[in-house]
Chain A
Amino acid sequence: MIVAERKPLNEIMDNLAGIGSVAVAGCATCVTVCSAGGEKEVSVLSSLMRIAAGQRGQDLQVVELMVERQCEWEFLDEIIEGIDQVDAVVSLGCGAGVQAMAAHFEDQLILPGLNTRFIGLPEQQGLWVEMCLACGDCMLDKTGGVCPVARCAKSCFNGPCGGSQDGSCEIDPDTDCAWQLIFDKLQKLDRMQILQEIEPVKDWSDSRHGGPRRIKREDLIL
């Protein structure tokens, strides 16, 4: 899922200088699961904004909205009425959600309330870790399901760098060395021979070096 965290309150408030009414819009999908932009976070941010506005002497009306998925137009139609009644919207969706809202509500000021951080998973309650950089050419088949692109600090493709120590990454002892995990998993699967193959330089043309990527499925386009 997409993992995000709230922007500092002062940054959000500074963006709202001179605004009289604002909707805080949450997203009930990824950012709800990572406790950054769900219903509860909408309520918390709205309260903080009201209190902060009071301290700043700003007369700011704050309304709370939820969208099932901000990154799909169909769901955005459901909140048109609420959006029309305010001067600006602080979106608690990820970057895709904010942009979808900005494109869909052409005349409305849509501001980001979150910093979108990564594609990851909750390793335990309250701890999210990065798992994938969306490189566009997945190599997990060769690495026992552990991503060296995202989880190796140096994105090494042919074994660990010289700094791996006791299973930890040299940049941070609290981070597992991705190559240690790859070794351990392949050993368990009795597939160590995969590592005999030298992985050539990665073809990054499927990554984002050619600008924004798109996927087109002709059979789905009517």
Chain B
Amino acid sequence: MTDKPVTADLGIIDSPVGAVVYACENSAWRAYNELLSAGLQVGSNLRVLKVPCSGRVDEVVMLRAVEDGARGVLVLGCPEDSCRFLQGNLRAKKRSSRTASALQDIDGFVGLVQYDALSGTSSGQLLNIITGFVDDLDELVTEEAVEQ
């Protein structure tokens, strides 16, 4: 797999609260497809991308998404001990928090980088995770707007 499908043109540059969700194809991506086939939407200002493992989403990938205009980056992997590549989910969790703290060092930057885990059959949980993430992000952006 190359960097291209993960980092290229996320198509959310114009939107102020755009977010990208990196969904592991072994869990979150399946849950996402279940949601879609049930006719449910996860939000319009959001781009869900399939990755072969959450461990593929490193700092470079997350930061490129932010550079491309995303205010939020949500990485979704498999529950602990269930990673097909053994430790990809553990790495993704740590990398997400490292990226979040690196972005926090940038004065004035408002955004959210988070990691969460779920199984491929947990479409309801997926909806809750994404809704909560988008709400938190909206709140941050609204607070920023008020402060300005």
- Residues of A whose CB lies within 8 Å of any CB of B are 8-10, 40, 43-44, 47-48, 50-52, 55-56
Contact = CB atoms under 8 A, between A and B. Distances in A.
A51 B106 contact: yes
B48 to A, nearest CB: 22
Q: When A and B form their complex, which 9 residue pairs have the shortest distance between CB atoms, in order from nearest?
A: A47-B63, A55-B108, A43-B60, A52-B106, A44-B59, A9-B105, A55-B109, A47-B67, A55-B106
Contacts of B59: 40, 44
Interface in B83-120: 102-103, 105-109
Contacts, number: 41
B58 interface: yes
B63 A40 contact: no
B64 interface: yes
B58 A51 contact: no
A55 B107 CA distance: 7
- Among B59, B63, B106, the most chain A Cβ lie within 10 Å of the Cβ of B106
A29 B35 CA distance: 47
Interface of B: 58-60, 63-64, 66-67, 102-103, 105-109
A59 B128 CA distance: 39
A40 B58 contact: yes
* Overall SS of chain A's interface: helix
Contacts of A40: 58-60
Contact of B63 (A8, A10, A51, A55): A51
Contacts of A50: 67
A47 B69 CA distance: 12
Contact of A47 (B60, B105, B107): B60
A51 B103 contact: yes
Contacts of A8: 105
B137 to A, nearest CB: 16
28 contacts: A8-B105, A9-B102, A9-B105, A10-B105, A10-B107, A40-B58, A40-B59, A40-B60, A43-B60, A44-B59, A47-B60, A47-B63, A47-B64, A47-B66, A47-B67, A48-B63, A48-B102, A48-B103, A48-B106, A50-B67, A51-B66, A51-B67, A51-B103, A52-B107, A52-B109, A55-B108, A55-B109, A56-B107
Contacts of B60: 40, 43-44, 47
A216 B89 CA distance: 51
Contacts of A56: 107-108
- Among A10, A44, A55, the most chain B Cβ lie within 10 Å of the Cβ of A44
B84 to A, nearest CB: 21
Contacts of A47: 60, 63-64, 66-67
Nearest to B58: A40
Nearest to A48: B102
A10 to B, nearest CB: 7
Contacts of A48: 63, 102-103, 105-106
Given A47-B66, A48-B63, A55-B107, 6 more contacts: A43-B60, A44-B102, A48-B102, A51-B106, A52-B107, A55-B109
